[in-house]
Structure 1
Amino acid sequence: MSKYIFVSSPLEQFEIVTLLPISIAGVNLSLTNASFFMILALILSSFWLSLSFYKGSLIPTNWQLIKESFYEVTANILHENLGAKGELYFPFIFSLHLFLLFCNLIGMIPYSFTVTSHIIFTFSLALSIFIGVNIIGIQTHGINFFSLFLPRGVPLIIVPLIITIELLSYTVKVFTLSIRLFANMTSGHTLLKIIAGFAWTMLSAGGLLAVFHIIPLGLLVALIGLEIAIAALQAYVFTLLTCIYLNDVLDLH
């Protein structure tokens, strides 16, 4: 009897599956694995914060210490890029950082789903932030906000060219912000799946190959540690860039 080894596609983990079909007046409001894990990230992050406030004391508990460290990291991002004028936006920046961190870390759990590995999610988030940032800029500076696209001292003859270049470089921020997070999470999870499948194939083959499966397995463990670090780093970078873009519209140059 022939022996077949079936290895699922590395991209299968990114498939969006409907968990609870819901349709109201022809509008699809179904609960998918993507929306479920977004809700889960929100619940777990809120629960983690509640743990840090439970029996708070001057001598911090372990949960309290972790939360204060995370709070300090986020506060430093805001202070270094926005200064005192950024205090108004701290609740949003803190929530954004915390939500992305939990989305990324939950995606590291086997058989879970990584919300940030889908470009539609990261692009929608980046576009929402981009629109909000521009609204803040217009409210703060009025018509002077559009001077952002025309540096001082530019000769009149090249004004249309400069405005076009500045406008393109400004709008491309939406794509760089979304693609950076999406690409890092997708490529990392795909690589983990490929190496895991390779190790399982070697183990299932038996014989000498089964002995040497320990090599890709050891590499897999090391890459999991690296991917966890990348998950935290990408949440940090997304939050940092959001603060930088916000500073650009608050402090026109």
Structure 2
Amino acid sequence: MAASAGKIDPMEQFLVEPVLGRHMDLFGYDVSFTNSALFMVVVFVLLALFMVGGMKRELIPGRWQVMAEGAVGFIDNMVNVNIGKGGKKFAPYIFSLFFFILFANLVGVMPLAIVPGLHTFAVTSHITVTAVLAFLSFAIVLLVGFAKHGLKFFSLFVPHGTPWWLLWLIPPVELLSFMVRPFSLALRLFVAMTAGHILLEVFGSFVVQGFSSGGPLGWMVSILSFVMIVGVSALELLVCAIQAYVFALLTSLYLHDAVHLH
């Protein structure tokens, strides 16, 4: 984590680097297997193990099976409540979206740095990853809307009860609000995860520098910073779950608009 001149750079933890230590080019494109890709694979494997372990269908379900069934039931309830009729077919996508983000967030806050040479990488702290998820959700909303309603989908931008003398204003405002959706989805998750990791890094640097400086004041700074790390870590765990839930919830609400218009 130490940067040049012996200073700690809180942004260095977000640096995307090749896992093998060197870049690989293919037809002029960098196709290196990076730490970001590695941790996405880790998240996929953990999610697959979670589901495979919970799909035993035992007569008397164990704890793992109960957790998996609870996860499926949780997403089914979210889809039924927020999308309604015709929303069942979107449950697999909402499930994948929610648990990929949740597992990625949780893996990103694991304290692997206590093992020399290891550190976690929060893939959801990169706007490229959150933007892909957001624009994929937005594309599905558009495809569903136009496939189901055709050009009538544009009526979504004219709310019921809109006075005729406001038709010049309301539709453009509604369209702008609709087009901002993927950006807000991507930025919300990206900012929340990035801010939390920066705070942890900053307080961690205060702990190290406080102990290095010595003296009562240095020790006090280190202890207070450590207490803040514990508090921020607990808050980060809560944010990990909340951000995954908000992303999945908003996606299901947007799908509701595409399926039912108003």
Hey, what's the Cα distance between the residues in 2 that align with 1:152 and 1:234? 31
Match of 1:127 in 2: 135
What is the DSSP-based 3-state SS (H/G/I as helix, E as strand, rest coil) of the residue aligned with 1:232? Answer: helix
* Residue 52 of structure 1: how far off its partner (Å): 1.9
Aligned equivalent of 1:29, options 28, 31, 36: 31
* Residue 39 of structure 1: how far off its partner (Å): 1.5
Aligned residues: 248
Hey, what's the Cα distance between the residues in 1 that align with 2:174 and 2:10? 39
Tell me if structure 2 keeps the 8 A contact 1:126–1:177: yes
Match of 1:93 in 2: 94
TM-score relative to the length of structure 2: 0.88
Match of 1:77 in 2: 78
Structure 1, residues 203-226: CA drift from partner, whole Å, max 9, x if none?
222221354222221221122111
Tell me if structure 2 keeps the 8 A contact 1:11–1:190: yes
Hey, what's the Cα distance between the residues in 1 that align with 2:8 and 2:165? 59
Match of 2:155 in 1: 147
RMSD over aligned Cα, in angstroms?
1.8
Structure 1, residues 107-157: CA drift from partner, whole Å, max 9, x if none?
012311111111121112111210111111111111211111123454555
* Residue 190 of structure 1: how far off its partner (Å): 0.7
Identity %: 39
* Residue 160 of structure 1: how far off its partner (Å): 3.5
Structure 1, residues 84-129: CA drift from partner, whole Å, max 9, x if none?
4111111111111111111111101231111111112111211121
Tell me if structure 2 keeps the 8 A contact 1:203–1:209: no
Residue identity in the other structure for 1:124:
V
What is the DSSP-based 3-state SS (H/G/I as helix, E as strand, rest coil) of the residue aligned with 1:53? Answer: coil
In structure 1, runs of 5+ residues without a counterpart are none
Tell me if structure 1 keeps the 8 A contact 2:104–2:123: yes
In structure 2, runs of 5+ residues without a counterpart are 112-118
Tell me if structure 1 keeps the 8 A contact 2:84–2:256: no
* Residue 58 of structure 1: how far off its partner (Å): 3.3
Residue identity in the other structure for 2:76:
A
What is the DSSP-based 3-state SS (H/G/I as helix, E as strand, rest coil) of the residue aligned with 2:19? Answer: strand
Change (3 A) 1:161 1:27: same
Q: Between the two structures, name the one with larger relative contact order (CA 8 Å, sep ≥ 6).
A: 1
Aligned ranges 1:140-219 → 2 under 5 Å:
140-152=148-160, 154=162, 158-212=166-220, 213-219=222-228
Hey, what's the Cα distance between the residues in 1 that align with 2:184 and 2:86? 25
Change (3 A) 1:233 1:154: closer
* Residue 62 of structure 1: how far off its partner (Å): 2.1
Tell me if structure 1 keeps the 8 A contact 2:211–2:218: yes
Match of 2:253 in 1: 244
What is the DSSP-based 3-state SS (H/G/I as helix, E as strand, rest coil) of the residue aligned with 1:83? Answer: coil
Match of 2:68 in 1: 67
Hey, what's the Cα distance between the residues in 2 that align with 1:104 and 1:7? 27
What is the DSSP-based 3-state SS (H/G/I as helix, E as strand, rest coil) of the residue aligned with 1:19? Answer: coil
Aligned equivalent of 1:220, options 229, 235, 241: 229
